[in-house]
Structure 1
Amino acid sequence: MTAHPAGSGRRHGHGLVLGKFYPPHAGHHHLVRTAQERCERLTVLVCAASVESVPLADRVAWMREAHPGARVVGAVDDIPVDLYDPAVWEAHMAVFRGAVGEPVDAVFTSEEYGSELARRFGAEEVLVDPARSLFPVSGTAVRADPVGTWEFLGPGVRAALTRRVVVLGAESTGTTTLSRALAAHYRGRGGIWARTGWVAEYGRRYSEEKLAALRAADPAADWADAEFASAEFPVIARRQDADEEAAARLGSPVLFCDTDSFATGIWHERYLGARSAEVEEIAACGPRRDLYLLTDHEGVPFEDDGLRDGPGLRPWMTGRFREELTRTGKRFLVVGGDRRERLETAVRAVDALLAEGWHFADPLPENKRGGTSMTAERR
């Protein structure tokens, strides 16, 4: 069938966009938006191979979030890639037809193989920006250099790739000071780093509100009158995770957090004398953290801000944080010294983390005879 450029204005009944979306980027989203404008209904088929390191479910979820008006379906396609073997083509088509489940009127694509794909679906091919002039990006480029292609990534992908650094420690050991300073340091690098996020400790706000409620009933109340119930800590942990996730979706490739839901478990132990299975489950199911910075209490004067119990518990809490970080196999570093020393130590650790880069498993190898590829750049 004859290929038509996307700007021809002709509308179609049921359109199809097919890709690996490994991971999805602005070029993919432009392709889908263009197809949606030209079709009464659109199916987006996400195909993933088992060897790839981004789960199919994540890619489907990202595409559904970005394109709520489209029908997004996923399929595992572990068939070898060879466009010059009719039997291989038909094996792929069996996967595609099974996932789509109904006739297709138009295939929207930017790939050379789009004409053959459309022909096998008995559909019209519609070309969308095959030169990549509007969005000069590809899945291959994103996998090779997420930082360099960050501006082309959507919120869900950014949240998945963001390196998350958590600063935790006992009371009055400088966690807020250090985490704020780290965020300011990386923002100062400019470019995409100017959007580096910082996540406040929700438990702090919760405590302020708790004390305010006590004083509304009794103006003479102070922090010693506050009592915590176990059920309050899961609320704090879930909100901390939610705030962190929201910040990761909008920021740079690194995010700094003043505590997290893992630390909430230690605070439960501090106030209730035992661990909370519910809080530990929340922390275990929460987002991946890449580095923990534990602020040492040694050499830091205790400052009573009205929401602290005193310096006596600081050594115990520092020890418990260290024990639990070690027990759970988390990557962590204890930072000590004055403010300047702590910031310099932390920056070196974060720079080392970022220098490790991002690692994606290679897609299935492909037969490149003649140069046409089932996993061409945009895919």
Structure 2
Amino acid sequence: MTTRGLVVGKFYPPHRGHKHLIGTALANAGEVHVVVCERPGEDPPAALRAGWLREIHPAARVWVIDDRYDAGDSAVWAENCTRLLGFAPDVVFTSEDYGDRFAACLGCRHVLVDRPRVAVPVSGTAVRSDPLANWDFLEPPVRGFYARRVVLVGAESTGKSTLAADLAAALGTVWVPEYGREYWEAKVRRGEANVWRPDEFVAIARGQCGREDEAARRANRVLVCDTDAFATRVWFRRYMGGWSAEVDAVARGHRRPDLYLLTDIGTPFEQDGTRDERLAAACAAVRETLGRAPGRGCGAVAPPSG
């Protein structure tokens, strides 16, 4: 008969201590169920934490349970977990002092795993307090959530891509190129540079967000982005003459950056065959009006409210 194991916790957020605990369960039970406790207002929420655990431990079966009850009432928790699973487990794995009481209420064995946190010296409280300091204890999906995001915005030919690459190199991390530029260059090769459809901007916004989220998993604490979906809203207005509710929804629904860097328009315009000459002329007119000299650099701004 298959041995059914149980692991219960907040996993708030999942870290490598939890990975060690669940890995031990998977190595010692034929079937492992992981129950994630949920309380309103937690960030990251339980549903997201459960999704991360399913990715990290695809062999485990992950559940979410209401966490409104007294954490010290092992009998209630045993009853609720049994009701949730539809059976009582054969063995429960914990790293906590309550494990023996909980297992007794379940009528099963208890395996205590690294209670003094020697094998993996980390806690959820420590991660929430300073995720960057505990970076080495986090798996890629959790890193993607906590990575600080810096976005460069500004007119064409103001050095965004160069600055993004240089910043990423200086920080020892990765950066996200502008997906819209890649999309535009493909249109130029097809001879469609002057023909735009509204749905293309939605695709660009989604593509940019998707690449940003993927790169955040590989980032070293900070992710640098050459533009974002917010800038796609501006390009939609430039080419379509108005605002797009769909593009706006993509931009507003995505993770907000921690910092925007706005590049100045004072650098000389360089036409590489894909850039908008009319925008270059407009930038030049603004520069002349403001009396700005080339090389003014960039400024830091807060994320936009909309």
Q: TM-score range by the shorter chain?
A: 0.7 to 0.9
Q: For residue 208 of structure 1, what is the aligned residue in structure 2? A: 185
Deviation at 1:112, TM superposition (A): 1.7
Residue type at the aligned position of 1:313: A
2:254 is aligned with 1:286: yes
Q: Which structure 2 residue ranges, 5 or more long, are not aligned?
A: 288-292
Superposition pairs of residues 95-106 of structure 1, within 5 angstroms? 95-106=80-91
The whole-number CA distance in structure 1 between the counterparts of 2:46 and 2:131 is 19
Residues 103 and 207 of structure 1, relative CA distance in 2, 3 Å threshold: same
| 8 Å CA contact 2:53, 2:62 repeated in 1 | yes
Q: For residue 270 of structure 2, what is the aligned residue in structure 1? A: 303
2:184 is aligned with 1:199: no
| 8 Å CA contact 1:19, 1:45 repeated in 2 | yes
| 8 Å CA contact 2:91, 2:109 repeated in 1 | yes
The whole-number CA distance in structure 2 between the counterparts of 1:53 and 1:232 is 33
Q: Which structure 1 residue ranges, 5 or more long, are not aligned?
A: 1-10, 188-195, 215-222, 319-335, 354-379
| 8 Å CA contact 1:16, 1:104 repeated in 2 | yes
The whole-number CA distance in structure 2 between the counterparts of 1:43 and 1:94 is 15
TM-score (norm: length of structure 1): 0.72
Deviation at 1:123, TM superposition (A): 0.7
Q: For residue 42 of structure 1, what is the aligned residue in structure 2? A: 32
Residue type at the aligned position of 1:300: T
Q: For residue 53 of structure 1, what is the aligned residue in structure 2? A: 43
Which digits, 9 at most, give the CA deviation of each residue in 1:209-247, with x for residues without a partner?
211222xxxxxxxx8x53222121111111111110111
Residues 239 and 51 of structure 1, relative CA distance in 2, 3 Å threshold: closer
Q: For residue 240 of structure 1, what is the aligned residue in structure 2? A: 208
Residues 94 and 317 of structure 1, relative CA distance in 2, 3 Å threshold: farther
Superposition pairs of residues 317-332 of structure 1, within 5 angstroms? none
Residue type at the aligned position of 1:100: L
The whole-number CA distance in structure 1 between the counterparts of 2:155 and 2:239 is 13
SS of equivalent to 2:78:
helix
The whole-number CA distance in structure 1 between the counterparts of 2:256 and 2:286 is 23
Residue type at the aligned position of 1:204: R
Deviation at 1:315, TM superposition (A): 7.5
Which digits, 9 at most, give the CA deviation of each residue in 1:258-302, with x for residues without a partner?
0111111111111111212211111122223222222221x2211
2:48 is aligned with 1:62: no
TM-score (norm: length of structure 2): 0.88
| 8 Å CA contact 1:42, 1:70 repeated in 2 | yes
**Number of residue equivalences:** 296
SS of equivalent to 1:293:
strand
Deviation at 1:127, TM superposition (A): 2.1
| 8 Å CA contact 1:169, 1:317 repeated in 2 | no
The whole-number CA distance in structure 2 between the counterparts of 1:316 and 1:116 is 75
Percentage of matched positions with identical amino acids: 46
SS of equivalent to 2:118:
coil
Stretches (4+) displaced over 3 A: 88-95, 313-318
The whole-number CA distance in structure 2 between the counterparts of 1:64 and 1:29 is 11
| 8 Å CA contact 1:171, 1:314 repeated in 2 | no
The whole-number CA distance in structure 2 between the counterparts of 1:315 and 1:124 is 75
The whole-number CA distance in structure 1 between the counterparts of 2:227 and 2:44 is 27
Q: For residue 338 of structure 1, what is the aligned residue in structure 2? A: 295
The whole-number CA distance in structure 2 between the counterparts of 1:288 and 1:337 is 30
The whole-number CA distance in structure 2 between the counterparts of 1:45 and 1:259 is 39
Q: For residue 372 of structure 1, what is the aligned residue in structure 2? A: none
Residues 276 and 313 of structure 1, relative CA distance in 2, 3 Å threshold: farther
Q: For residue 71 of structure 1, what is the aligned residue in structure 2? A: 61
Q: For residue 162 of structure 1, what is the aligned residue in structure 2? A: 147
Superposition pairs of residues 345-356 of structure 1, within 5 angstroms? none
Q: For residue 145 of structure 1, what is the aligned residue in structure 2? A: 130
SS of equivalent to 2:225:
strand
Which digits, 9 at most, give the CA deviation of each residue in 1:172-206, with x for residues without a partner?
2222122222222222xxxxxxxx22000011111
The whole-number CA distance in structure 2 between the counterparts of 1:288 and 1:102 is 42
Higher relative contact order (CA 8 A, sep 6+): 1
